[in-house]
Structure 1
Amino acid sequence: MLRRLSSALVQQTSSLAPPIVESYLPKIWQATRRYSVKQQLPRLPVPSLEQTLDKYLKSVRPLLSDEEYDQTRHIVADFSKNPGPKLQDLLLKKAQSTDNWLAEWWLNVAYLSYRMPVVVHSNPGVICPMQDFDDEMEQLRFAAKWISGALSFKKMIDEQTLPEEKMGDHPLCMAQYYKILSSCRVPGVKRDSLVQFPAGTPNSPRHIMVIRNNHFFKLDVYGQNGKPLNVDQIHKQLMRIVDSSSHPTPPVGILTTESRKTWGSAYQRLVKNTMNKANVEEIQRSILVLCLDKPMPVTGPGMRQSQFVRQMFHGGGSHLNSGNRWFDKTMQLILSPDGACGMNYEHAAAEGATIAFLLDHAMSYAKKIPEELAPASGIVDPKKLEWDLSPETLEDIKEAEEDLDMMVDDVSLTALRFKGFGKDFAKSQKLSPDAFIQVAMQLAYHSIYDRPPATYESGSTRAFKLGRTDTIRSCTIDSTNFSKAMQDDSVSKQEKADLLRKAVDAHRKYTADVLSGQGIDRHLLAFKLLAIENGMNVPELFMDTAYSRSMHHQISSSNVTAKMETVFCFGPTVPDGYGVCYNPMAKQIIFAISAFNSCKETDSDMYGKSLARSLIDMHDLLLETTGSKL
């Protein structure tokens, strides 16, 4: 997720997820070096100890009582004397000997060691514009174009001709683009791994995987002459797959929805059989997965969009499309005859901005192909994967269905297409669009709960070699002052407008710091990990109320900008939290909001309505105090 220092590019995607098995590390990082060798990017800097601790105190102040804050100040002061300086020295040494001091830590801690299921808790769903198909033939034709578009993007990756992205005049690390195709997460009981099969490696993948009615098909998308199949050829192959999958089969793919420990154990049982093991390896090696779904039922007026979001996020449950998936796969394109169109992606390999860019390219390609490719020669018929499912594995599938259905029932999802205005309005007020939206999210929460929420917004560090993200702490002293003022009739409109601008500016400055490698959350994480690695006690700073409260993100948010009317969605990161992803467009803002039904305090529809009101109130406040117009 990337973002311009001025605010224009903040494209993000949140979420915490799990570590990588050591045997795969060389393969992954060598591939990264190979593809990014032309880029001369700076290393991720190490912020000063004093700066991080000062920002930390300011960031936790709105969340604490006076007594709690006084205690935290003493704890931070003690940390600044011991062991802070020692840990800072250890981190500086690590930074000097690695391309990116955070990269391996973050992959392990945030993704591969994470033991919650990837579905709902980690994988984002992506909702693309609804398509209009007259029949199944037209659906498959679109799917063929979509795949062809993805292959044209892959060609740019393989030939290293993908245009280098920049933030202003500064190039951004392109390494993530070379990890999103032909890659897959592999479950482990204690820790997962990540496998990748980039072009140029021996026997690099030539196939995609197509899933329909829970059947898996290996579809070679290159002929024996090495040329990609054209749209007509892919279309004919998809028709063969449809003809061979008219009835559902046991949903092996639903095993990927389990907790990572449970799935890791089930995986070991599944691959004991040599045929099953070969099948799994074909899935893991595939370029991407195409899920040809059955339509989701519409349960009431105005519910189509919400069902659409559910389909891309988790499949709708075991009785619908959740078994028609392999959630460990980095990229799963999803399409059904009713026009539902989108994807689900596994987060360990990349952030949302890179996924959005590939998806924009493939969708544009599908709408208007520049020129039809010449037919490939030596086409291989699709191969259906046959499974040998033991009684133990069939029981694992049954348990996974039950667990998944409980998880699906617990998630509340709201799609909000806010049409009152878009990012052009914030620009007309000389305000950062992303910061404006984030302040509105603070106001929306405060209006419901009368307290500020600890908030995570993902900010890109791609200006540095192998950069991923750091946290933009959106809950600030200034945003809290503004939220309180909006509920106080004794405060004048001009004072409220001034507080609004101050809050937006504070967020913009914090974002600029994160983008320039001066965030605090990954720095603090490094201190904690270094203490553990060096046999030291975990510092008291990490046991303090302030730290635990500031890490309990009642709002986990991400700005993933796309050219299309597309929005990502993901789950909350805490039981009483919200997941909020948004795509700010010129004249509208598209939101996807999630919450857990098991928490009586949260409700995605309620928060969505409060967010819409907050945006309108802020818009009107600015117009009334400045006289500006859209």
Structure 2
Amino acid sequence: MAEAHQAVAFQFTVTPDGIDLQLCHEALRQIYLSGLHSWKKRFIRFKNGVMTGVYPGSPAGFMVVVVSYMSYNKYKQLDPSLGLIAKLGQHIPISRYMSTDSQKIVGGVLVGTGLWVTIIMIMRNVLKSLLSWHGWMHARHGSVSWSTRVWMVLVKVFSGRKPMLYSFQNSLPRLPVPSVKDTCRRYLESVRPLMDDEQFERMKGLAKDFEKNLGPRLQWYLKLKSWWASNYVSDWWEEYIYLRGRGPIMVNSNYYAMDFLYVFPTSIQAARAGNAIHAIMLYRRKLDRAQIKPHFSSCLFCLFVLFSSVPSLLTVGSSLSDTLQHMNESKHIAVYHKGRFYKVWMFYDGRLLLPREIEQQMERILADTSEPSPGEEKLAALTAGERTPWAKAREMYFSRGKNKLSLDAIEKAAFVVTLDDTEQRYKEANPVKSLDSYAKSLLHGKCYDRWFDKSFNLIVFKNGTMGLNAEHSWADAPIVGHLWEHVLSMDPLKLGYNEDGHCRGAPHPNLPGPQRLQWEIPAECQEVIEASLTVARTLADDVDSHIFPFSDFGKGLIKKCRTSPDAFIQIALQLAHYRDKGKFCLTYEASMTRLFREGRTETVRSCTMETCAFVRSMIRDETVICRSLLKQAAEKHQNMYRLAMTGGGIDRHLFCLYVVSKYLGEDSAFLKEVLSEPWRLSTSQTPLQQVELFDLVRHPEYVSSGGGFGPVADDGYGVSYIIVGDNLINFHISSKHSSPETDSHRFGGNIRQAMVDILALFQLDKKDIK
């Protein structure tokens, strides 16, 4: 582009008087600053690695232990080495090189170091034992038992003074392997409401045979893996659920996160991008420096691959599986606008670009009038379609030359930004259509304007609204949500905008412009791109998306019913689904297993016997018994959620048993049938994790409106919801137009009515609930 800047470090010419060397001091200065920045980052990572490695000890603790030990021995007139130097002297002529006093000092330091390491190991193992206790989860909401209080004090004592981001990683327990007997029992209990007597007796027989014969053998291998690996589930889950899938990841796997619902900080696209990109880079800096506040009971391993990742980078020459790769030290982002790709450096003068300087770079891209090169505009459709054609095209057309360099610039970028040329926003005059359009744009866009392989894409629309599209294989939604909460809290309140809507500050007078990526895409490759785009468009056009803010009430009134908000909503979803389809279905609710090392997710099977009994009583209008049945259903749901979070879930264990059976070449009718059952209702709550960042009492509008995902089953629904403060719950519903059984807007109406009907049971206006 016209703004391209090339810096040459030196030039020389040969003259009759000799060689005339001309140095460019600015270029050399930039090289020096770049190197200085790189070495600072390496030093910080080294220091953080040391601090994490000795946690819950510290260098200060080392000095205290060693000095105290030496002082005690000097006071008692004891040998500080405890005879260690004398024993070494029998084999090594120490006295030749060290005086007696030096020997005492060295011996004391060695023994003191051993004592310090012993204390660290004891504290670490005690902390691991404490974190393995999950009794605190069973306490009634709002009450804290004495055992929990004692546990919290002990955890604080053994956690050290200032834990860093990854300090707790080595102290987190491993995910336990449930017994085959317990898993089979819980499975049968979960499918009982979905089967008639004959079907259930048959499944009961299959489960009993598995439990007696093949199950124990598979369990032995799984136990062996659990002792050896950090987590017996995560690597297989990542590989077989995500990376080996050959279908499109767009819609089927990727998910999205939305902007504020009612707040529009600026309508200037470049300015919004400037603040958002700067906030994301600040988050990465905190991540690199391990300055993000850890939670003692949550594994944060996935944060390591949040940036500079290509989670679904295809193995060259392979059509069987993708690979998960992470590139360190990325100093640039990739930007897409109107069919053209750009590489934008995020550092200059040895520092991170300020928001106004990033806005300046975005303005340059928006002002560029050059046309896309042949095949460039729809290139990203390769990441939206089937995986095998993308694998073959990658090896054939993008493994060398100019195309490889440009592809590397995208894949090695910290993340991808799309400056979208459409406008999306919640509109009070047409809330349904505006939100549905907004969600579909974030989920799939035009099918060629998002790089779906990237860990996440920041999408900034023409009117300043923004959102994220995230790839799923590398981590689950709470990790991306943690980042997004940071961005939303930084953008309007801390970074802010001028009165004219631009980022604060001034443009840089000498800032080099973005670099336009160059491509040479032959006609044969363009045909592959068009074929992938056709597949992706068919998939995208079939998505029936509906988003609605439920503002009749929120968790404030639900808690007055003495019911868990999540259980309340899950039960409402069951009632809504029965009214929608006239039947119950296998229901998936995602829960986290981050209480364990490298934990990801587990399934809560929300359709229970207790919930079905409540729904039937509501359908029959048996108001008298509905409240007691609701209480039973809610308690059952909460117990199942706790089990899933503490390693007692069903589905990950059955999944791993199935993987082992395949490795052994054994067929199990029981496992095959279990894993082939479709999830016709797939649900997930988007948790608000950093409540301290938002004042939801004074500004309930300053929070994300959540996010969503595509339908899991062809004839089912996907439902995501976020509980925003005490008075708002946002629902994101997806299904497929091609299914005659589903309609997202109809289901949304049923959810709204179910929520209202369940709350009406408590007659809060009569003050029955205190």
Counterpart check, 1:521 vs 2:651: yes
Contact 1:125 1:314 (C-alpha < 8 Å) held by counterparts: no
Distance, in Å, in 1 between the alignment partners of 2:204 and 2:749 is 37
Paired residue secondary structure (1:412): strand
- Other-structure match for 1:30: none
1:540 to 653, 669, 673: 669
> Which segment drifts farther, 298-307 or 586-595?
298-307
Moved more, 458-467 or 295-304: 295-304
Task: Describe the superposition over 1:488-519 as per-residue Cα deviations: whole angstroms up to 9, x where unpaired.
Answer: 13x3x130111111111111100000110110
* 2: CA distance, partners of 1:55 / 1:92: 20
Which of 1 and 2 has higher RCO (CA within 8 Å, sep 6+)? Answer: 1
- Tell me if 1:263 matches 2:393: no
Give the equivalent residue in structure 2 for 1:212.
337
Matched with 1:439 is 571
Partner of residue 235, structure 1: 359
Give yes or no for the alignment of 1:343 onto 2:468. yes
CA gap of 1:284–1:626, structure 2 versus 1, over 3 A, is farther
Q: Counterpart of 1:599?
A: 739
User: Greater CA deviation, 303-312 or 365-374?
Assistant: 365-374
Gaps of 5+ in 2: 1-133, 142-164, 497-503, 689-693, 695-702
- Partners of 1:223 and 1:378 within 8 A in 2: no
Tell me how far apart the structure 1 counterparts of residues 454 and 185 of structure 2 sit (CA, whole Å). Answer: 41
Counterpart of 1:509 in structure 2 is: 639
Name the structure 2 match of 1:589.
Answer: 729
Contact persistence 1:455–1:555 (CA under 8 A) = yes
- Do residues 565 (structure 1) and 704 (structure 2) align? yes
Amino acid at match of 2:367: D
CA displacement, residues 531-576 of structure 1 (integer Å, 9 cap, x when unaligned): 11123x22121234xx257x31011111012361322111111111
Change (3 A) 1:349 1:129: same
Aligned residue type for 2:754: S
Out of 374, 382, 398, which is 2:514 matched to?
382
Matches of 1:6 and 1:247 in 2, distance apart?
61
Contact 1:429 1:628 in 2 (8 A): no
> Which of 145, 151, 155 is the matching residue for 2:275?
145
Q: 1:121 is paired with a residue of what secondary structure?
A: coil
Unaligned runs of 5+ in 1: 10-33, 199-203
Letter in 2 for 1:46: V
Alpha-carbon offset, residue 286 of structure 1: 0.7
For residues 265 and 5 of structure 1, the distance between their equivalents in structure 2, rounded to whole angstroms, comes to 49
1:370 to partner: Cα distance: 5.8
Match of 1:94 in 2: 225
1:368 correspondence with 2:368 = no
> Aligned-pair RMSD on alpha carbons?
2.7
C-alpha contact (below 8 Å) 1:5/1:515 kept by paired residues: no
State the match for 1:422 in structure 2: 554
2:456 corresponds in structure 1 to 331
Q: Aligned in 2, Cα 1:589/1:119: closer, same or farther, shift over 3 Å? A: same
Matched residue pairs, number? 582
- Is the contact made by 2:681 and 2:717 (CA closer than 8 Å) also made in structure 1? yes
| Partners of 2:139 and 2:398 in 1: CA distance | 48
SS at match of 1:501: helix
**Structure-2 residue corresponding to 1:107:** 238
From the superposition, tell whether residues 423 and 285 of structure 1 become closer, same or farther in structure 2 (CA, over 3 Å).
same
Distance, in Å, in 2 between the alignment partners of 1:158 and 1:134 is 30
1:232 aligned partner, one-letter code: R
State the 1:622 CA deviation. 2.2
The structure-2 alpha-carbon separation of the partners of 1:44 and 1:538, relative to structure 1 and needing over 3 Å to count, comes to same
1:354 to 479, 486, 503: 479
Instruction: Give me the whole-angstrom Cα distance separating, in 2, the residues matched to 1:164 and 1:369.
Output: 22
Question: Which runs of structure 2 are paired with 1:175-190 in the superposition (5 Å)?
Answer: 175-184=301-310, 185-188=312-315, 189-190=319-320
Pick one of 741, 759, 763 that aligns with 1:623: 763
In structure 2, C-alpha distance between the alignment counterparts of 1:271 and 1:329, rounded to whole Å: 17
Q: Distance in 1 between the 2:271 and 2:765 partners?
A: 53
Whole-angstrom distance in 1 between the partners of 2:587 and 2:381: 32
In structure 1, what is the Cα distance between the partners aligned to 2:553 and 2:764?
Answer: 16
Q: Deviations over 1:141-166 (max 9, x none)?
A: 12111111111111111001110025
Counterpart of 1:282, as a letter, is: A
On the 8 A contact 1:212/1:292 being kept in 2, the answer is yes
Q: How many Å separate the matches in 1 of 2:424 and 2:221?
A: 56
CA drift at 1:253:
1.2
Question: Aligned partners of 2:531, 2:555: CA distance in 1, in Å?
Answer: 46
CA contact (8 A) 1:122 1:347 kept: yes
Matching residue of 2:212? 81
Give runs of aligned pairs for residues 382-531 of structure 1, distance below 5 A: 382-489=514-621, 491=622, 493-531=623-661
Cα shift at 1:284: 1.1
CA distance in structure 1 between the aligned counterparts of 2:266 and 2:217, rounded to whole angstroms? 67
For the Cα contact (< 8 Å) 1:224–1:378, is it kept in 2? Answer: no
Q: How far 1:623 sits from its partner (Å)?
A: 2.3
Change over 3 Å in CA distance of 1:38–1:521 after alignment to 2: closer
- Residue number in structure 2 paired with 1:21: none
d(CA) in 2 for partners of 1:447, 1:390: 54
TM-score using structure 2 length: 0.72
Alpha-carbon distance, 1:269 to partner: 2.8
Q: Secondary structure at the match of 2:494?
A: coil
Q: Which residue identity does 1:349 align to in structure 2? A: W
Partner of 1:288: 415
Residue of 715, 718, 730 corresponding to 1:579: 718
Aligned counterparts of 1:374 and 1:517: Cα–Cα separation in 2:
53
Tell me what 2:109 maps to: none
Q: Is the 8 A contact 2:614 2:626 kept in 1?
A: yes
Check conservation: 1:419, 1:588, Cα contact below 8 A.
yes
- Give deviations 1:189-241, integer Å, cap 9, x for gaps: 2111111124xxxxx1100111111211111101252x211112111111111
Matched, 1:121 2:266: no
Distance 1:197 1:7 in 2: 43
User: How far off is 1:90 after superposition?
Assistant: 1.3
1:583 & 1:629 partners in 2: Cα distance?
A: 25
Offset, 1:424: 1.7
Q: Is contact 1:422–1:589 with CA below 8 Å preserved after alignment?
A: yes
In the aligned structure 1, how far is the partner of 2:347 from the partner of 2:656? 44
Moved over 6 A (4+): 6-9, 297-300, 371-378
Conserved 8 A contact 1:50-1:80: yes
Contact 2:545 2:734 in 1 (8 A): yes
Q: Deviations over 1:427-482 (max 9, x none)?
A: 22221111111111111001122211111111100000000001111111111111
Q: Which residue of 1 aligns with 2:753?
A: 613
SS at match of 1:368: helix
The residue aligned with 2:294 is 164
Q: Go from structure 1 to structure 2 and tell me whether the alpha carbon gap of 1:38 and 1:510 turns closer, same or farther (over 3 Å shift).
A: closer
Report the Cα offset of residue 369 of structure 1: 2.9
Q: Deviations over 1:287-326 (max 9, x none)?
A: 11111001158999442111111111110x3xxxx32210
1:48 CA displacement: 1.6
Identity of aligned residues (%): 29
Please state how far the C-alpha of 1:187 moved relative to its aligned partner. Answer: 2.8
Describe the shift of the 1:301–1:375 C-alpha distance in structure 2 as closer, same or farther (beyond 3 A): closer
Q: Which residue of 2 aligns with 1:250?
A: 377
Amino acid at match of 1:470: E
